[in-house]
């Protein structure tokens, strides 16, 4: 059994794309986990699987490297858009994810933008295990929470460099308050238009960047009155731009770059 893949990254946030349009979707938890292994597989933070779709250019399914699924991935969505825009020669494309239909654009400078949809702010939608004010959760540090199709918990800190991201991230990711676990952000506000962000990613550890986490961090910062509607987000691997007017969709803009293409050849388990 074999299939082609393309490896890409967005400011170091790496992902793989498997295009199964016109084919059966064979990717399951076991296969995604094997592909995500950086020593024995392709290695990635996320995997995006493209399938046929009646009302969009493709239907996307996202997987973490540990074999878990997620509904949103800003970096991989932009990577798929980059691929589709090159195929069609168009300046925009619509893809379908579990978040619904997402419109992606090529900017004049070559960066890719995607409307990531409206953030979900109610405690049930994040989700939170009990009724709570998502602006200030009942946890030390009073973080904010929202969902961009996956849960986000944002801590605003004075000194980001003094923080043990791995230790704190592990503690919060699996806290009982988050029944589906959560992405954890640590934000230092540089100015109302710029933040420094470090991330503990649910099911992935510490990435160089994350599109959906950048969106979640900015949304929570705007809700707290700390940020304007347009913010540059400086991650370990580079900077992306996030815009949110407080009501509509969240727009994520940044570069994506291809690394290499290849074919996975070998026996793949069909365990679900």
Q: How confident is residue 272, by pLDDT bands cut at 50, 70 and 90?
A: very low
User: Across residues 38-47, what is the average pLDDT?
Assistant: 94
Question: 51-88 burial, b if ≥16 CB within 10 A, otherwise e?
Answer: beeeebbbbbbbbbbebbebbbbbbbbbbbbbbbbeee
Does this chain's domain 2-116+257-265 share its CATH topology with 144-249? yes
For residue range 53-99, list pLDDT tens digits in order: 999 999 999 999 999 999 999 999 999 999 999 999 999 999 999 99
What residues contact 160, with CB distance under 8 A and at least 6 apart? 186, 187, 188, 196, 198
Give, in words, the CATH class of 2-116+257-265: alpha beta
In this predicted structure, what is the pLDDT of residue 204?
A: 77
Paired with 17 in beta bridges are 6, 48
In this predicted structure, what is the pLDDT of residue 257?
A: 96
Using the predicted structure, report yes or no on whether residue 268 has a pLDDT greater than 80.
Answer: no
Task: Quote the DSSP letter at residue 38.
Answer: T
Domain definitions of the chain by residue range: 2-116+257-265, 144-249
Element (H, E) at 29: helix 29-36
For residue range 134-183, list pLDDT tens digits in order: 999 999 999 999 999 999 999 999 999 999 999 999 999 999 999 999 99
In this predicted structure, what is the pLDDT of residue 231?
A: 98
CA distances from 43 to 14, 38, 170 (A): 8, 4, 21
For residue range 181-193, list pLDDT tens digits in order: 999 999 999 999 9
For residue range 196-211, list pLDDT tens digits in order: 999 999 977 899 999 9
Using the predicted structure, report yes or no on whether residue 269 has a pLDDT greater than 60.
Answer: no
Alpha helix ranges (H) inside 37-105: 74-88
Percent of the chain with pLDDT over 90: 94
Element (H, E) at 212: helix 211-223
In this predicted structure, what is the pLDDT of residue 266?
A: 65
Using the predicted structure, report yes or no on whether residue 271 has a pLDDT greater than 60.
Answer: no
Mean pLDDT of all residues belonging to the chain: 95
Using the predicted structure, report yes or no on whether residue 16 has a pLDDT greater than 70.
Answer: yes
d(Cα 29, Cα 88) in Å, to the nearest integer?
Answer: 31
Q: How confident is residue 121, by pLDDT bands cut at 50, 70 and 90?
A: very high
Query: Is 245 in a helix, a strand, or coil?
Result: coil
| The architecture CATH gives domain 144-249 | Roll (3.10)
Percent of the chain with pLDDT over 70: 97
Query: Is 172 in a helix, a strand, or coil?
Result: helix
How many other CB atoms sit within 10 Å of the CB of residue 255? 17
Ranking 1-5, 128-132, 168-172, 265-269 by mean pLDDT, the lowest is: 265-269
- Enumerate helices (H) and strands (E) in the chain, giving the number of each: 4, 16
């Amino acid at each position: 059994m074999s299939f082609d893949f393309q490896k890409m990254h967005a400011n170091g946030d790496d992902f793989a794309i498997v295009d199964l349009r016109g084919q059966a979707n064979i990717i399951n938890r076991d296969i995604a986990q094997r592909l995500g292994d950086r020593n024995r597989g392709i290695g990635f933070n996320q995997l995006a699987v493209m399938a046929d779709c009646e009302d969009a250019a493709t239907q996307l399914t996202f997987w973490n490297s540990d074999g878990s699924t997620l509904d949103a991935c800003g970096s991989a969505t932009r990577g798929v858009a980059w691929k589709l825009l090159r195929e069609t020669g168009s300046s925009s494309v619509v893809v379908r994810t579990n978040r619904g239909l997402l419109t992606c654009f090529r900017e004049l400078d070559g960066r890719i933008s995607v409307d990531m949809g409206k953030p979900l702010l109610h405690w049930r939608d994040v989700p939170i295990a009990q009724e709570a004010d998502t602006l200030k959760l009942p946890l030390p540090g009073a973080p904010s929470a929202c969902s961009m199709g996956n849960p986000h918990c944002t801590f605003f800190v004075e000194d980001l460099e003094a923080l043990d991201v791995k230790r704190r991230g592990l503690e919060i990711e699996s806290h009982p308050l988050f029944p589906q676990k959560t992405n954890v952000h640590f934000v230092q506000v540089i100015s109302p238009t710029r933040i420094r962000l470090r991330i503990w990613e649910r099911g992935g550890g510490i990435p160089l960047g994350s599109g959906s986490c950048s969106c979640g961090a900015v949304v929570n910062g705007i809700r707290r009155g700390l940020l304007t509607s347009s913010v540059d987000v400086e991650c370990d691997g580079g900077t992306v731009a996030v815009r949110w007017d407080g009501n509509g969709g969240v727009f994520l803009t940044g570069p994506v770059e291809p690394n290499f293409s290849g074919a996975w050849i070998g026996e793949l388990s069909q365990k679900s």
